[in-house]
């Protein structure tokens, strides 16, 4: 094939760009702010507070190793929380990719309204108008509402209770030992009628945060660690019966907690301090994840002496800090199967009302 002059110089330019320019390319950083959500809500104001008003409108979950990660976790895994960043484009679903290619703006949202990004037979706009995800082929206007069981304060407390004194190992905000009381998650899922083909659950907080957990992990009991009062980065109740170095009694389970130190969990609300919104409180329900191995909580990421011995802060520690997976103010648990992580039940507009009423919904792969 003969190269024309135009093609030749085009090729030359390309070669130079390849040699000289790759380090100038930057990754797509969607999580720096809420810009993209704002553009979508400007285009579709009725979607505010609905399930479309969430990261998973544009971002997908994915399999990492043996574990399925939902959109929040998958993005954190692929893109990372700190540089050097990965490519967040990999985490976009078909709608997110279409939005990106159309220019990431309010106009882009409207421009791609007529497309059927997920190929499910409905245009993006048709799906958005009825609150279905335009980037998820399993969520269409014809998808029936999934079975759901609502739990009230009374109904939850009528189930067998579990009490566990445990360590919460945080990255930044200080570690602590405390006693949580609640319902072990597997008992609750059985009570809700979990199906045999269920594989994992996704736990949703009122503020939209979510995490997924394998049922194989949920069913297990985990060994207790030791109690340490000598490390000043780990707080503990003044009236604890444990002494430094004592083995903590019992074993640990995943819980839906409603009490801490014998007191109902403080009802969550969003407060604004120093210009930043943050969640205050952890209740009425908090999803409690145990440490999978009995390690000593490490130093705070936010301390000047975090690299000192003993237990320096280790960002690459293989034992996950359990507080990262203890989700405050939970309102919904979706039970997933291997093939369906999109069971439809739109609770999102009701989230803060559910917080005030002490309600929790379990939906998806249940009978």
- Contact residues: another protein, CB under 8 A: 2-3, 8, 11-12, 15-16, 19-20, 23, 26-27, 82-85, 153-154, 157, 172-176, 229-233, 235-236, 238, 244, 258-259, 261-264, 266-267, 269, 281, 284, 293, 295-296, 298-319, 358
CB of 11 to another protein, least distance (A): 7
Residue number, 111 or 320, with CB nearest to another protein = 320
Q: Give the integer Cα–Cα distance in Å for 144 and 184.
A: 29
Residue number, 9 or 145, with CB nearest to another protein = 9
CB of 365 to another protein, least distance (A): 29
Q: What residues have CB less than 8 Å from 292, skipping those under 6 apart? A: 217, 222, 319, 320, 322
Instruction: Classify residue 310 as exposed, middle or buried by CB count within 10 Å of its CB (0-12, 13-18, 19+).
Output: exposed
Residue 202: DSSP 8-state = E
Q: Give the integer Cα–Cα distance in Å for 362 and 366.
A: 8
Residue number, 32 or 339, with CB nearest to another protein = 32
Q: Give the integer Cα–Cα distance in Å for 99 and 106.
A: 9
Residue 194: DSSP 8-state = B
CB of 182 to another protein, least distance (A): 11
Residue number, 107 or 308, with CB nearest to another protein = 308
Closest CA to 351 of 278, 273, 277, 267: 267
- Location of structure tokens 């996950």: 320
CB of 233 to another protein, least distance (A): 5
- 276 forms beta bridges with 273
Residue number, 18 or 119, with CB nearest to another protein = 18
CB of 246 to another protein, least distance (A): 14
């Amino acid at each position: 094939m003969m190269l024309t002059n135009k093609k030749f110089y085009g090729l030359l330019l390309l070669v130079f760009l390849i040699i000289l320019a790759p380090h100038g390319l930057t990754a797509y950083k969607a999580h720096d702010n809420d810009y993209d959500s704002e553009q979508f809500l400007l285009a579709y104001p009725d979607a505010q507070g609905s399930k479309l008003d969430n990261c998973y409108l544009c971002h997908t979950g994915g399999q990492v190793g043996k574990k399925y990660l939902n959109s929040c976790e998958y993005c954190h895994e692929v893109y990372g929380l700190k540089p050097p960043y990965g490519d967040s484009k990999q985490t976009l679903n078909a709608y997110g990719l279409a939005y990106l290619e159309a220019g990431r703006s309010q106009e882009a949202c409207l421009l791609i309204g007529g497309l059927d990004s997920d190929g499910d037979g409905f245009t993006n706009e048709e799906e958005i108008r009825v609150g279905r995800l335009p980037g998820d082929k399993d969520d269409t206007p014809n998808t029936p509402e999934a079975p759901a069981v609502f739990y009230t304060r009374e109904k939850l407390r009528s189930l067998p209770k579990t009490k566990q004194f445990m360590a919460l190992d945080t990255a930044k905000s200080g570690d602590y030992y405390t006693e949580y009381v609640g319902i072990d998650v597997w008992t609750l899922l059985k009570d809700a009628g979990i199906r045999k083909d269920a594989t994992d659950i996704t736990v949703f907080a009122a503020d939209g945060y979510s995490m997924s957990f394998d049922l194989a992990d949920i069913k297990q009991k985990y060994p207790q660690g030791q109690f340490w009062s000598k490390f000043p980065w780990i707080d503990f109740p003044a009236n604890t019966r444990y002494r430094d170095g004592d083995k903590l009694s019992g074993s640990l389970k995943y819980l839906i907690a409603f009490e801490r130190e014998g007191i109902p969990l403080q009802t969550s609300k969003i407060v604004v301090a120093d210009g930043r919104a943050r969640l205050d409180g952890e209740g009425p329900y908090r999803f409690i994840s145990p440490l999978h191995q009995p390690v000593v909580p490490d130093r705070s990421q936010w301390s000047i002496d975090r690299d000192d011995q003993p237990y320096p802060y280790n960002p690459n520690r293989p034992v996950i800090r359990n507080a990262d997976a203890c989700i405050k103010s939970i309102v919904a648990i979706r039970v997933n199967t291997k093939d369906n992580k999109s069971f439809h039940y739109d609770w999102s507009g009701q989230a803060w009302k559910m917080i005030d009423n002490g309600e929790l919904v379990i939906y998806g792969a249940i009978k």
